[in-house]
Structure 1
Amino acid sequence: MAEWDAQRLEESYRDLWPAHFEANPDDIEKFYLNVAFPYPSGAMHVGHGRTYIVPDVIARFWRMQGKNVLFPMGFHVTGTPVIGISKRIAKGDEATIRLYRDLYRVPPDVLDRFDDPMTIVSYFAGDYERLMRRAGLSIDWRRRFITVDPQFSKFVEWQYLHLHEGEHVVKGVHPVKYCPSCDSPVGDHDLLEGDKAEIMRFTLVVFEWDGAKIPCATLRPETIYGVTNLWANPGVTYVRANVDGEDWVLSREAAYKLEMQDHTVAITGEIDGSAIVGTTATHSLCGEVPVLPADFVDPDMGSGLVMSVPAHAPFDFIALRDLQEEGRYTDIAPVAIIKTDGYGEFPAQDAIERGGIRNQNDPRMEEVTREVYAAELLRGTLLPGCGDQAGKPVKEARDAVAALMLADYGSKEMFDFDTRTVICRCGGRVYVKILHDQWFLNYSDAAWKEEVHAQIERMAIVPHETRAEFNRTVDWLKDWACTRRLGLGTKLPWDPAWIVEPLSDSTLYMAYYTIANHIRTIEPERLTPEVFDYIIYGTGDPTTVARETLDMIRAEFLYWYPYEFRFSAKDLISNHLTFQLFHHQAVMPADRQPQGMVIFGMGLLNGAKMSSSKGNVVLLEDALNEFGADTVRMFLIGSAEPWQDFDWRNELVTGSRKQIERFWNEITEGIAVEENEGRPIDRWLTSRLQHRIKNATAAMASFQTRQALQEAFFGIEADLKWYRRRLPTIAPGSAAIRDLCSVWVRLLAPIIPYTAEELWQMMGNEGPVAFAPWPEADEGQIDTATELAEEILSRTVEDIESIIRLIQMEPTAINLYVAPEWKRRIFGLIAGAEDRTDAVRFVMAEEGLKRHGKAAVNATRQITKFIHRLPPHLVTDLNAGLIEEKAVFEAAQEFLEREFGVQVQILDADGSGEPKADAALPFKPAIVIE
């Protein structure tokens, strides 16, 4: 018998498979699935592997179901990421060079050429394809493209002309993420750090101070009524600056940020923070307040000076308390301005005391701050003393006070991130900048939003709870800066000084896949907008491409589109996955809208989030080298359902390899022996197999790939273990085993294709297992009575084993006492009752049972507990009278004696004289071990 050899199997089939998966239009039902294409700027890790292996398993499943499956792949290379990498390498940035040399192991001669962005693209796109092929992905590689291909750029131009025509792309004034080093707006994909940073709108509350003004940035302007002091950092050198014609005192960092946000800023001098501390500042809505020292004030946050509201801000409360415990500023008391259910007069104090927080360095401070802020926003009401805002809910007063301050109190708006550091891939700091001539996708358009909401309701979304997240994203989504000055990509057709940014050019490429293999053969200059109008809409009369060719390409598009399912990570719901729904609504016909999406969880390594930049990854190539493709696939499928986070741990991956080896050995042994005439237990194995088929099929169809593996591998393996246990010592093969082998190989073929392919060929089958028919459950082979008999038997064996372990002695004999018929009657009454809460009452109402008195009462209570522990379907089947309990044990007497090595007697509990026999229940005999 040949041993399982992962490397040999991969070498045997890897290069033979790709041609089989080239999908063309046919007259059979299609299934088109796709996955968010990768950005090839670094080596693949096992997290990427899972992203692409899950949809491959689904693709293989539906092929075996007889569908014509399209699974394409391309590479996303537009934007600035590879440009930033090439610049850092060209500058000799040691951290970047070390990452690519040591972690990604780029050959030195190739790394020397990484100062050219396209060399990076070419190298890693090729590497990704090589590893995807090695991992057994059933991709149609004819449709491969990269987003800087000129033909794809023509498709993007066509899309944006229609978006512009529909007024979905507009010029406007908006705050955007901006990299001064690149002199260009940047998107999330352009960032090394802070890719989840949100742009926040702060109100600068302006206090009068010593002939100048001190601005304090806040997200809660309504709290001005409760300000007791300002905070300044005595260790910071602040600047005096002329801001829009006014003399302001603020941090140097804040002055720079304001200069980028449509403010005229000229620095006129410096002032130490220690010179500000101890002075006073004034605002009409809170009066005169002192400026207190605070080392925690960060000059890079807001304006570098902070207004303090200790009644409602935990950080302010505890900082003031710390000073007062030193005997300083004891005359300052919190001012309550918000009443919130669940809190006393001073919510900040309540939250700190409940949490047992002793100082401002406690890591729980952030948590209690979020708790108080959220509670006040949702349930808070402004108290008397808040002027015209008294009595208003906080969420209403917040905007009203902000507007009041902007109109009457000299306040201004300031934009900043909700995280401290946002870094461009070029290595430069990213800021918020107000742009005037920038092009934006008008995602704030209410009518457009409604169209997308309606589409979300029509789609199949897995898991279902993420539908709400999509709807929330649509609701809060604002206009999106869709162009950049720098980077790789498509020039905006009506304003070529701008380039479409990467999250905005990757919104309809799923449709491009359907025609990519044809479009690549056409010269880019011939791909006019009219060509794509004809392909997508069937309109117009383009002359640059032959009509016969256009009809063929349009037929391919119409056959494949829309896609059935798109697979992508949950962190893309907030941008890409929702963006593509907007763009489909704006550009694609109503009958070509997306049908479904499956949302992935995240990847962990030994419990910590995977991060290439931090080196916390296992490269996919290393995993394939060490474990083999099928082991990697089986672990990634079995570790979690697609939408759950998975955790890569080498010791567990080793377990998957052993499982495949066991599977290999079972199949090779099962197909090698001659068949016998069969045994009664074969009926049980065949019956169980029908359930495994049914359950695995249902799980696959609902994307529960882990559950499918549980049924298709662990379930069948467990059945086989019991089957072999039930056989005599010498157990040649049978038709049931050979049938099981054929089914088993096909059930696991989507998950471990290399192993399944070899076994399928060893079994003498023709054609690839990838196109073999998926097993179908045969209801006619389900033998419920036989399954029930084995269920009772296996449960009894477990009970005997438990007793032997408990008494810690070798038995000399085992007696099984079967419950009498009157207990069987009680079982039937309880099993058939809708309400079992008062079983004793209705059981004892039966004349035939009442005569058993206390014994019937005790039996009723015991049987009720027993039934509650059984699966409902088992209770129903047992109550159907399909088996005779004593006959089951008598038929298995030889097995039981062989199993335990002692004489086993099957006896009636009634009249036995054995006191312990009274414990016998229907389908749970009393066990007496001598």
Structure 2
Amino acid sequence: MSRFETEVYEDNYRESWSHIFEADPGEADKFYLNVAYPYPSGAMHVGHGRTYIVPDVIARFWRMKGKHVLFPMAFHVTGTPVIGISRRIANGDEKTIKLYSELYRVPADVLDKFTDPDEIVKYFSSEYERVMRACGLSIDWRRRFTTVYPQYSKFIEWQYLHLMDQNRVIRGAHPVKYCPQCDNPVGDHDLLEGEKAEIVKYVLVMFKWGEYTIPCATLRPETTYGVTNLWINPDVVYKKVTVDGQKWILSPEAADKIRLQDHELTTEGEISGSELIDEKVLHPFSGEVPILPATFVDPDMATGIVMSVPAHAPFDYIALRDLQKEGRYTEIVPVALINVKGYGEFPAMDAVEKSGIKDQNDPGMETLTQEIYSAEFTSGRMLPQYGGQPVRVARDEFSAIMLEQHGSMAMYDFDVRDVMCRCGGRVYVRILKDQWFLKYSDPEWKEEVHEQIGKINLVPAEVRTEFDRTVDWLKDWACTRRVGLGTKLPWDKNWLVEPLSDSTIYMAFYTIAHKLVNLEADKLTPEVFDYVFLGKGSPADLPLDEETISDLRSEFLYWYPYDFRFSAKDLISNHLTFQLFHHKALFPEELQPKGMVVFGMGLLEGAKMSSSKGNVILLEDAVQEVGADTVRMFLVGSAEPWQDFDWRKELVSSTRKQIERFWNTIHEGAESEESYPVDRWLISRMQERIKNANICMESFQTRQALQEAYFGIESDLKWYRRRLPENVRSSSAVSEISSAWIRLLSPFIPFTAQKLWEITGNEGEVAFAKWPVPEESKTDILLELSEELLERTVEDVESILKLIQIDAEKIVLIIAPDWKRDVFDIIAKSENRKKVISEIMKDEEMKKRGKDATDAAKQITNLIHRFPPELTLRIAENRVDEYSVFESAAEFLRHEFNLPVEVVRADDYPGKKSGQALPFKPAIVVE
């Protein structure tokens, strides 16, 4: 199969497949799957390819199983990402221009238009569709839409009016991610860096220094009694500011943050950190403590000044230890606050000294800190003089006391550095007063979603815990933005629904998208959607004619609810959980989602893929270099969908060779009409491969399915060819299994499968051919076991010959006696193999054999432990005449080893070696 041939037939089929996957309601059972729609702001890479190819493989499988399959696609363009990109390009940002001109290879005349965000959307949504078609995705493209279509906006309006009526959308003051440059809240999809950043709530502990307050941010207010000093960076120039009428000292970065968090802040002057060294500050809980120098203090972390609790914070302990080693501040002694099992009076000191940490730059410090904090929070108790409560209780109590009585207040910051908007500006935490929020904190709503999570088929099952955890910690979500693309909030036109909040139930929109695009948006009133999705009202009272509205309702009910949704595991914490909340709020029980498959992440040669860093392989480049089928087979077969995969050039190249071997084998089979005794074995093995591949596909184990459908069959063929006469490579049996083999691989490599389907004399599209079904009449378990026995014995002989390395004259195979086979059967079928030997020895015949029977039982038990369980069961249920197997294969064995092979029964062979003969493992003597 030359590269030229691959390109030709792939191109031909892309054109002919343009409309064949369009799905309309029918009499067959439906299978509706969908995948998170892409945000088309750059070229697709192979990571994107896997996201869409895996569900395509599943769609093709169920289509061949007789299901009526719907696999739709759309493009998510709302929000600010494309606006940020267009601004950076308009401002001449060299990094952005280089990314789009060099990595994404946008033509210069097109790139010039990217100052208009609509041009970015138009260009890349078309590119995505073109590349998806190039990959052979079996999508119903009639249903394509973008999230700025007026018909889609009407759908979003309908959704939010219902949420407002249910009091699930509220107005309030909440901390949100905010870009001052865009003057807009931002979501994860709006971020260039820091997509995983979470907002952390600190308590500001207010230390007094003369007329100034020096606030220190902490997540552990219960440790304030143990503060021995403050840390300040002597190299930083701090700000003297007035915050809500009080004089504070903050780092410049902290001043910018506080200003955005509902405080009035004015700058009065500056003071160097070095000027504050050795000054004394006061707090009611800690008393008077000094300010000490620490260059490790990051001015961009919270307030830029840190309180030190060396008894319970490893960083504080080691920093103080370093100073005291210099003979400084030796009078400072840690103050113990918390008793925690496994640690002494000062847990931080214990942990640092036992771990052999040398200094605060040791990479192990971060892990050590988390270990101490976690241990103290989960099992620590405050000492009696500080209340004696568990730390988890004391934390909230101390926080409340400090906020109410000691002037403390909350400050919000991110748990990571460098959170950047796609516009290129820095993102901060801001308190917004007039923002609209989805009330995900509602305990009743949470409980409904928890209950639904228990009913959904989740793949892999272990992600259920992650979904439940997300529901538990999820807080109110800012669902609107001031600027960007999207739908205006129907009751407050000053706001737009943000991207993650307008992409929660679009799976329902897919069902009728192709019919709505031809309707006037103004006629899509909330009452229309009420009837279509909920069956409320009467068609006679709606602005659409009765036939149209009934058709929309019928189409929706045929497809919904969706059967499976595919998306990446990093979306569990937002989108995938959000859509469960919204489905519960809007749809009845019978229309709730039925299943989800959660993907692992993608690596490139072992490193995380990143478009912004250029560490990607563009999907189109990969398709052009090795062919769509190679890309598909590698992405689906290199790991299970929920596992991380690693794109490695060497492995991709070997995948192409595998497809070539498949091509050549089918061609060889088509040219051969000869038959041989071993043919029945190959045909029987195919039935097993079909059964196993089907089980795997139904469980979304695409990698294991490919192991059966390709590598398993190839392995069978390898043995089969060894059993054929010399210089014979194919037969009528290969021709007979070709149809099933082509169909098994069709979901994975549809272009190659279609070409071979035609070459082997079949008509129509293999994509709609019947998925193979194992035929019981063609299954021969005894024959399969016979060949298994033969193959295993050949491997054992080869190992012995390689090990002894002598000039052998003959090979003797000694077959175990029937009584050992009886022992094998008893042990194999026993539920308690530890006691089975004693049970065997109660048999009168075995008693007579004495030690021989005991030894045999032990040997057979060890042998069974080395066998796969399914093989053990097969052997026990089907007694193979081992002597006949080897006698009939004597010529084959002689040819394999170029030596005479003698087959004897153990009772007829003198010497101790005969005692080693076991069922399904003859003793081997090389003479």
Partner of 2:847: 850
Partner of 1:186: 186
Displacement after TM superposition at 1:544 (Å): 2.5
Partner of 1:355: 355
Which amino acid in 2 is paired with 1:353?
A: E
Displacement after TM superposition at 1:731 (Å): 4.1
Partner of 1:466: 463
Displacement after TM superposition at 1:837 (Å): 2.4
1:174/1:881 Cα in 2 relative to 1: closer, same or farther (>3 Å)? closer
1:835 to 832, 838, 841: 832
1:913/1:3 Cα in 2 relative to 1: closer, same or farther (>3 Å)? farther
Partner of 1:636: 635
> Residues 29-178 of structure 1 correspond to what in structure 2 (within 5 A)?
29-178=29-178
1:575 aligns with 2:567: no
Which amino acid in 2 is paired with 1:609?
A: K
Residues 10-40 of structure 1 show CA distances to partners (whole Å, capped at 9, x for unaligned) of 1121111121100001011000000000000
Partner of 1:521: 518
Which amino acid in 2 is paired with 1:818?
A: I
SS at 1:616 equivalent: coil
SS at 1:385 equivalent: helix
Partner of 1:871: 868
Distance of 2:533 and 2:303 partners within structure 1: 52
Displacement after TM superposition at 1:551 (Å): 1.0
| TM-score normalised by L of structure 1 | 0.97
| TM-score normalised by L of structure 2 | 0.98
1:896 aligns with 2:893: yes
Mapped contact 2:233–2:294 kept (Cα < 8 A): yes
Comparing 714-723 with 52-61, greater Cα deviation is found at: 714-723
Mapped contact 1:217–1:306 kept (Cα < 8 A): yes
Which amino acid in 1 is paired with 2:230?
A: L
Mapped contact 1:240–1:250 kept (Cα < 8 A): yes
Distance of 1:2 and 1:275 partners within structure 2: 76
Partner of 1:309: 309
Distance of 1:831 and 1:427 partners within structure 2: 67
Mapped contact 2:203–2:410 kept (Cα < 8 A): yes
SS at 1:49 equivalent: helix
Partner of 2:256: 256
1:487 to 484, 488, 495: 484
Which amino acid in 2 is paired with 1:794?
A: E
Distance of 2:60 and 2:250 partners within structure 1: 62
Partner of 1:777: 774
Which amino acid in 2 is paired with 1:786?
A: L
Partner of 1:506: 503
Mapped contact 2:721–2:730 kept (Cα < 8 A): no
Distance of 1:624 and 1:483 partners within structure 2: 39
Residues 512-553 of structure 1 show CA distances to partners (whole Å, capped at 9, x for unaligned) of 111010000012222222221221122234443222111111
1:810/1:158 Cα in 2 relative to 1: closer, same or farther (>3 Å)? farther
Partner of 1:341: 341
Distance of 2:747 and 2:709 partners within structure 1: 11
Distance of 2:478 and 2:173 partners within structure 1: 10
1:612 aligns with 2:611: yes
Partner of 1:446: 443
Residues 718-743 of structure 1 show CA distances to partners (whole Å, capped at 9, x for unaligned) of 11111111111254855532221000
Residues 597-633 of structure 1 show CA distances to partners (whole Å, capped at 9, x for unaligned) of 0000000011111110111111101111111000000
Mapped contact 1:6–1:630 kept (Cα < 8 A): no
Residues 626-653 of structure 1 show CA distances to partners (whole Å, capped at 9, x for unaligned) of 1100000000111100000000000000
Partner of 2:682: 685
Distance of 2:32 and 2:670 partners within structure 1: 36
Which amino acid in 1 is paired with 2:426?
A: R
RMSD: 1.5
2:408 to 404, 408, 411: 411
Which amino acid in 2 is paired with 1:137?
A: L
Displacement after TM superposition at 1:810 (Å): 4.7
Comparing 248-257 with 453-462, greater Cα deviation is found at: 248-257
Which amino acid in 2 is paired with 1:78?
A: T
Displacement after TM superposition at 1:915 (Å): 4.2
Mapped contact 2:51–2:599 kept (Cα < 8 A): yes
Mapped contact 1:89–1:115 kept (Cα < 8 A): yes
Partner of 1:225: 225
Displacement after TM superposition at 1:3 (Å): 8.8
Mapped contact 1:673–1:732 kept (Cα < 8 A): no
Which amino acid in 2 is paired with 1:397?
A: A
Instruction: Specify every segment of 5 or more residues in structure 2 that has no aligned partner in the other structure, as ranges.
Output: none
Distance of 2:878 and 2:267 partners within structure 1: 93
Which amino acid in 2 is paired with 1:363?
A: P
Distance of 2:766 and 2:101 partners within structure 1: 40
Which amino acid in 2 is paired with 1:254?
A: A
Mapped contact 2:721–2:729 kept (Cα < 8 A): no
1:297 aligns with 2:294: no
Mapped contact 2:78–2:147 kept (Cα < 8 A): yes
Which amino acid in 1 is paired with 2:503?
A: S
1:733/1:239 Cα in 2 relative to 1: closer, same or farther (>3 Å)? closer
1:707/1:268 Cα in 2 relative to 1: closer, same or farther (>3 Å)? same
Partner of 2:925: 928
Distance of 2:501 and 2:608 partners within structure 1: 27
Partner of 1:650: 649
Displacement after TM superposition at 1:841 (Å): 3.7
Comparing 475-484 with 682-691, greater Cα deviation is found at: 682-691
Distance of 1:543 and 1:250 partners within structure 2: 61
Residues 757-802 of structure 1 show CA distances to partners (whole Å, capped at 9, x for unaligned) of 0001111112100000000112232211111111111111010000
1:918 aligns with 2:915: yes
Mapped contact 1:74–1:143 kept (Cα < 8 A): yes
SS at 1:5 equivalent: helix
SS at 2:267 equivalent: strand
Displacement after TM superposition at 1:363 (Å): 1.2
Distance of 1:881 and 1:517 partners within structure 2: 57
Partner of 2:713: 716
1:4/1:270 Cα in 2 relative to 1: closer, same or farther (>3 Å)? closer
Mapped contact 1:225–1:385 kept (Cα < 8 A): no
SS at 1:270 equivalent: strand
Mapped contact 1:212–1:247 kept (Cα < 8 A): yes
Percent same amino acid among aligned pairs? Answer: 63
Comparing 779-788 with 474-483, greater Cα deviation is found at: 779-788
1:238 aligns with 2:238: yes
Comparing 29-38 with 298-307, greater Cα deviation is found at: 298-307
Distance of 1:614 and 1:698 partners within structure 2: 40
Distance of 2:447 and 2:428 partners within structure 1: 32
Distance of 1:258 and 1:680 partners within structure 2: 84
Mapped contact 1:171–1:437 kept (Cα < 8 A): yes
Comparing 773-782 with 66-75, greater Cα deviation is found at: 773-782
Mapped contact 1:4–1:664 kept (Cα < 8 A): no
SS at 1:497 equivalent: strand
Mapped contact 1:817–1:909 kept (Cα < 8 A): yes
Mapped contact 2:672–2:732 kept (Cα < 8 A): no
Displacement after TM superposition at 1:868 (Å): 1.6
